[in-house]
């Protein structure tokens, strides 16, 4: 199933084709095909299916390390997740105000939204150890009115909101402050990924907050092709 099809079925991070706790897609990556040779599996990229016998030796020479396939850390299969700290008044208000498919306290969803893609502080901990704090609820708004209402409820009940976009966390914006004692809600914007309007004259585009750069490029290329065919 394509990611666009998953989105039409109400996007959930835990159901995405992307890897849950690291970069890339689940169906793509490096696999050993020899003692020090790898193949990039999958079919998404031009390099897919290519055997690379010189890749590991190159890495060894650049980093000054020796690769040993037996020297591998074991990932934590059942990842520990803190139970959600629920503000009951806020949670009851959310249940009354929004459809059930807009929010979740599922452990995996909360874990995914509690870290970004920084190598040690995020990825290493969640894969091989554990992270200290997880968000308490994940919310998926689908329009501006829902965002506004969620902010109003959060203000009323003193809830901490953390917007979630692409999840890279290069600015550490996804990190929950150590002294934060309030209920923490991750607001995943990825269901809001539409183009609002395009001004072809001055090349301005208004997009919703949840669209990624790759998605925007694909949509714009498709629209450009459609307009070109229509004009012809």
Per-residue pLDDT tens for 66-75? 999 888 889 9
What is the spatial distance between Cα 181 and Cα 153, in angstroms, rounded to a whole number? 17
What's the pLDDT score for residue 229? 58
Whether residue 139 sits in one domain with residue 115: yes
Residue 155 lies in a domain: yes
- Domain presence at residue 182: yes
Question: What is the extent of the structural domain holding 205?
Answer: 195-231
Structure tokens at 10: 């109400």
Confidence of residue 3 (pLDDT cuts 50, 70, 90): very low
pLDDT of residue 5 exceeding 70, the answer is no
Residue predicted with more confidence, 175 or 180 = 180
CB 153 within 8 A of CB 101: no
What does the block give as tokens for 184? Answer: 């923490």
Euclidean distance between CA atoms 83 and 26, whole angstroms: 27
Distance CA 38, CA 58 (A): 12
**pLDDT value, residue 70:** 87
Residue 50 included in any domain: yes
Pick from 11-15, 120-124, 194-198, 214-218 the range whose average pLDDT is largest. 11-15
Task: Indicate if 183 and 202 belong to the same structural domain.
Answer: no
Same domain, residue pair 135 and 209? no
Higher per-residue confidence, 183 vs 219: 183
The pLDDT of residue 228: 62
CB 197 within 8 A of CB 220: no
Could you tell me if residue 11 is inside a domain? Answer: yes
pLDDT value of position 1 = 38
8 and 56 fall within a common domain: yes
**Tokens, residue 130:** 């554990």
Same domain (yes/no): 104, 170: yes
Please report, for the chain, how many H helices and E strands are present, in that order: 7, 9
Same domain for 94 and 159? yes
- Sheet with 160-164, edge to edge strand ranges: 103-104, 137-139, 184-188, 160-164
Same domain, 180 and 213: no
Q: Has residue 80 been placed in a domain?
A: no
DSSP 141: -
- Count how many residues are written for the chain: 232
Q: Are residues 95 and 184 in the same domain?
A: yes
What is the model's pTM? 0.85
83 is a domain residue: no
């Amino acid at each position: 199933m394509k990611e666009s099809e998953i989105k039409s079925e109400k996007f959930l991070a835990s159901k995405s084709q992307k890897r849950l706790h690291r970069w890339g897609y689940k169906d793509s990556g490096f696999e050993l095909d020899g003692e020090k040779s790898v193949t990039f599996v999958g079919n998404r990229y031009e390099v897919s299916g290519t055997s690379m016998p010189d890749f590991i030796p190159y890495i060894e020479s650049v980093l000054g390390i020796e690769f040993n396939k037996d020297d591998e850390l074991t990932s934590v299969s059942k990842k520990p997740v803190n139970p959600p700290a629920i503000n009951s008044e806020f949670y009851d208000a959310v249940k009354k105000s929004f459809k059930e498919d807009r929010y979740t306290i599922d452990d995996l969803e909360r874990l995914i939204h509690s870290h970004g893609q920084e190598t040690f502080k995020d990825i290493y901990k969640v894969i091989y150890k554990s992270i200290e704090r997880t968000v308490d609820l994940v919310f998926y708004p689908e329009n501006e009115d829902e965002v506004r209402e969620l902010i109003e409820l959060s203000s009323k009940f003193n809830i901490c909101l953390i917007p979630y976009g692409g999840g890279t966390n290069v600015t550490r914006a996804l990190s929950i402050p150590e002294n934060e004692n309030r209920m923490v809600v991750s607001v995943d914007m990825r269901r809001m990924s539409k183009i609002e309007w395009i001004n072809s004259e001055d090349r301005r585009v208004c997009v919703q907050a949840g669209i990624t750069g790759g998605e925007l490029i694909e949509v714009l290329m498709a629209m450009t092709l459609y307009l070109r065919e229509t004009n012809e």
